[in-house]
Structure 1
């Protein structure tokens, strides 16, 4: 079976979105646990319990981020180039924050000194909070448009100073998106802790689920109103055939209030995405309160899928709109690699993704169970 070029362009939009959701659900859980670490663990033993719930899995979960980055590079090279120009300082900030995670997990318990361990606890907190915030800020800026343009050779040029490029990204709407991201991942991590620990850590995690869930619902509602009435969207006026060779400058684009809501008129079923975002968060809070963290975890993953899906569907077919030169905006139809590249990658995904998923499920199944202080003290040689 050989898919036509237009279909492959759409398929890779779905696959990249699935990789981003997979990263949010798996590694986002680790980040949420890191954010909660200094607060749900009141002593060294409790904090070691918290760390050991994600210690065996965090590096495997982070592969989702690496894979998503590689997929964007291979499937949408123009987006990759433009993003590294516009978000360069933000990406460096994420990278430096992520350094705390491998070092913190491996070295935190090597020295039995309270100050040493407390410093690494806050390092793990930083390694969870900063990436969660920056990823949300990035989505907020994508919805508003990024100041770049393409020249006649299709080279991306970011219109801003490199060293001060981070400051314009921290605008009010983008910060709201960042706070939604932090609350969403922290709620997810809290449910994981409730599922894998015992009281008193589990009880504190359950209270965190309620607080963060309310922030997710309120923030998501406010962001939706802001997008509807305060953020100009983008609309394609004319473009080449959808299966044509990529040429972002061959289309005409206009900015218009409310344009990000067009998809819900063209495709009413798209309303299921924001509905899942709200319903999943509310259901996660109810199930967590009822002592059903396993089902709450599924509901939280549904909420994350709905929130990320809402952003993707609202922007479709735009991937990276340009706020200064709308005609330079990159879309699903004019940013991808060649037909051959997308085809080869598609078959590679069909072969290897099921293997990765099967291995991941096996790892979680083999290492399942409650993590307790007694278990860590009894076998401290293998504990974090």
Structure 2
């Protein structure tokens, strides 16, 4: 059966959709992680901490849909990527999931007892549930940019030769710090928008301004490292854009600074890092002046730009291999079949707009500042 969209176009569409899902998760659950990371520092009393928790309490669960959709998209559209990454990063993912599990438990149990020690323990659990995923997600991106130690045998069975502590290399930790600073900035912007005027909002604005400037500094350092020292990957053979998915039918070279080639070849891609820096600067200035909408818009722009920069710099690579560069997974050789991508796209066109409409409706219903009276009333978090 002749399908309306050709195979190469569908592959690029699904590469873009994967980026959209990751950005959607970073924009929504990202500020949840940032708020949780800030919790012990912007709130000093029990009432203040309940105020902070209630800025995200009613809606954080809905944001998990982007994480689930992202994992599902990798499983269905990029099976090779799913097989290698979910196996190779298994221990790191276990750490992330363990930290994320602390969030629902912390939200539900924190205020069940009046004990100061009890509530303080859950506050730090919520901090771990915010900080650890923010760091590990960035570390994962840093390792993808460096290349992941995997290979395929003659039967296309994947082998991985890395370990949990091998992921904690200097460049990956730098990218992890970019992620933490970025999401703390985003979380602080959310608190400034949602919390009533008072000391919590003032502290969040101060921490957010610092985090925004750190985002710029760390992002620029990571960019210079990537452009000058970090090995990048380049396909050196002809690429069959509509061929069957087999990552072992190409040759790949590795050279320092290769990840910036796309910005030279496609100058419009420079918009991504410009958005990352300009958005963080806008957030820093707006947080200092308590301009609520501008600070949140700036932090959202920066989050979009940071995630997009990693994606466009690597195209067409999705998961490069440091063990055998020729085994690297790209847009052109690691996707599902033509028919699978097309029928999945139909489902996506139907259901993603519904998710966006529902998310928008929830934001509309729950919009408005959270007050201390609401945060400490019975039934609140």
TM-score by length of 2: 0.98
Corresponding residue for residue 194 of structure 1: 192
Whether 2:275 is the aligned partner of 1:276: answer yes
1:322 maps to which residue? 321
State the distance in 1 between where 2:161 and 2:290 align: 51
Query: Alpha-carbon deviation of 1:233?
Result: 0.3
The equivalent residue for 1:156 is 158
Match of 2:92 in 1: 90
Q: How far does residue 253 in structure 1 lie from its aligned partner after superposition?
A: 0.4
What is the DSSP-based 3-state SS (H/G/I as helix, E as strand, rest coil) of the residue aligned with 1:189? helix
1:299 aligns with 2:298: yes
Aligned pair 1:116/2:105, yes or no?
no
- Asked if 1:24 corresponds to 2:22, the answer is no
For 2:297 and 2:41, how far apart are their aligned partners in 1?
24
Aligned twin of 1:141: 143
Residues 192-231 of structure 1 aligned to structure 2 (within 5 Å): 192-197=190-195, 198-231=197-230
Q: How far did residue 376 of structure 1 move?
A: 2.9
Structure 2 unaligned regions, length at least 5:
none
Deviation at 1:159, TM superposition (A): 1.6
Q: Deviations over 1:62-117 (max 9, x none)?
A: 11111101111111010011002221110110011111001011111111111111
| Alignment check: 8 A CA contact 1:85 1:157 kept | no
Partner of 1:126: 128
Aligned match for 1:70, one of 72, 75, 78? 72
TM-aligned CA deviation for residue 216 of structure 1: 0.2
**Counterparts of 1:297 and 1:215, CA distance in 2:** 17
For 2:118 and 2:85, locate their aligned partners in 1 and report how far apart those are by CA, in whole Å. 37
CA root-mean-square deviation = 1.0
1:80 aligns with 2:82: yes
Contact 2:42 2:204 in 1 (8 A): yes
Q: Which structure 2 residues correspond to residues 341-360 of structure 1 after superposition, within 5 A?
A: 341-360=340-359
Alpha-carbon offset, residue 7 of structure 1: 0.2
Distance across 2 between alignment mates of 1:360 and 1:85: 32
Q: Hey, what's the Cα distance between the residues in 2 that align with 1:315 and 1:61?
A: 27
What corresponds to 1:184 in structure 2?
182
CA–CA separation in structure 2 for the residues paired with 1:339 and 1:245: 9
Q: What corresponds to 1:238 in structure 2?
A: 237
Instruction: Find 1:51's aligned residue among 39, 50, 53.
Output: 53
**Contact 1:145-1:322 within 8 A present in 2 as well:** yes
Paired residues of 2:206 and 2:287 also in contact (CA < 8 A): no
Q: With structure 1 as the length reference, what TM-score do the two structures score?
A: 0.97
- What is the deviation of 1:262? 0.8
Q: How far apart, CA to CA, are the structure 2 residues paired with 1:133 and 1:288? A: 23
Give, in whole Å, the separation in 2 of the partners of 1:373 and 1:280. Answer: 30
CA distance in 2, matches of 1:231, 1:64: 30
In 2, the alpha carbon distance for the partners of 1:36 and 1:15 equals: 31
Query: 1:113-145, CA deviations, whole angstroms, 9 ceiling, x for partnerless residues?
Result: 111110000000000001000000000001110
Question: 153, 169, 172: which is aligned to 1:174?
Answer: 172
Q: Per-residue displacement from partner, 1:277-331 (whole Å, max 9, x unpaired)?
A: 1001001111222221212111111111111111111111101100010010000
Whole-Å separation in 1 of the counterparts to 2:63 and 2:254? 38
Deviation per CA, 1:155-177, whole angstroms, max 9, x where unpaired? 110024xxxx1111000000000
Size of the aligned set, in residue pairs, is 378
**C-alpha distance in 2, partners of 1:2/1:46?**
56
- Name the counterpart of 1:368: 367
Aligned-partner Cα distance in 1 for 2:205–2:97: 30
Distance 2:86 2:299 in 1: 31
Structure 1 runs, 4 residues or longer, greater than 3 Å off: none
